[in-house]
Amino acid sequence: MRVSLVITIALAFFTAAFARAETCLSPYVKKLTRPEKFLYVFCVDADAKDNDFLIVVDVDPASSKYGTIIHKLDLGSSGNETHHFGFTDDRTHIWGCSLFSSRIFVIDVASDPAKPVLKTVIENKTGFAGPHSPYALPGRMLVSYLSHRNGGLPAGLAEFTNEGKLIRELKLPKDAPYMYDVAIKPELNRMVTSSFTPMNNYKKPLAKMDLKNFGNDLLIWDYRKRQVIAKLKTGAAPLEVRWSLKEKANYGFTNCALDNSVWVWEGNGEGKYSARKLFDTGKLPVDLRQSPDDKYLYVSCFMSNEIQQWDVSDLKKPKLTSTIVPGVQPNMMHVTYDGKRMYITNSLLSTMDYSSNFWVRLAHIGPDGMKIDPFFNIDLRKFKTGPARGHDMLLY
Could you report the per-residue pLDDT of 200-210, keeping only the tens digit for each?
999 999 999 99
Residues 287 and 240: beta-carbon distance below 8 Å: yes
What pLDDT score does 133 carry?
98
pLDDT in tens, 218-260: 999 999 999 999 999 999 999 999 999 999 999 999 999 999 9
Answer whether 73's CB lies under 8 Å from 52's CB.
no
Distances from the Cα of 191 to the Cα of 137, 174, 229, 251, angstroms: 12, 19, 10, 11
Backbone angles phi, psi at 321, to 5 degrees: -110, -20
> What is the Cα–Cα distance from 223 to 292, expressed in whole angstroms?
24
Query: What is residue 21's predicted lDDT score, i.e. its pLDDT?
Result: 79
CB 396 within 8 A of CB 37: yes
Q: How far is CA 141 from CA 88, 198, 279, 379, in A?
A: 7, 22, 33, 32
Contact between 335 and 342 under an 8 Å Cβ cutoff? The reply is yes
Angle, vertex CA 326, rays to CA 385 and CA 95, nearest 5: 55
Give the CA angle between residues 136, 223, 212 to the nearest 5°.
Answer: 85
Query: Cis omega (within 30 of 0) on the bond before 154?
Result: yes
Nearest Cα to 333, choosing from 354, 351, 355, 308? Answer: 308
Question: How high is the pLDDT of residue 339?
Answer: 97
Residue 15, helix vs strand vs coil: helix
Closest to 262 (Cα-Cα) out of 298, 295, 294: 298
Three-state secondary-structure class, residue 7: helix
| pLDDT for position 5 | 44
Which of 294, 319, 293, 298 lies closest to 309 in space, CA to CA?
Answer: 298
Report the SS3 class of residue 18.
helix
Radius of gyration for the chain, computed over Cα atoms and rounded to the nearest angstrom: 20
Low-confidence ranges of the chain (pLDDT < 70): 1-19
Strands lying side by side in the sheet with 306-311:
285-290, 296-301, 306-311, 319-324
pLDDT at 269: 82
pLDDT digits (tens, 9 = 90+) for 116-160: 999 999 999 999 999 999 999 999 999 999 999 999 999 999 999
Q: Give the up-direction half-sphere exposure of residue 60: CA atoms within 13 A in the CB hemisphere.
A: 13
Tell me the CA distances in angstroms from 84 to 79, 234, 237, one per residue in order.
15, 23, 17
User: Cβ atoms within 10 A of the Cβ of 11, count?
Assistant: 10
pLDDT of residue 11: 39
pLDDT at 9: 41
Residue 224: its pLDDT value, please? 98
CA distance 79 to 148: 20
- 3-state secondary structure at position 330: coil
The pLDDT of residue 2 is: 47
Inter-residue contact 364 to 341 (CB < 8 Å): yes
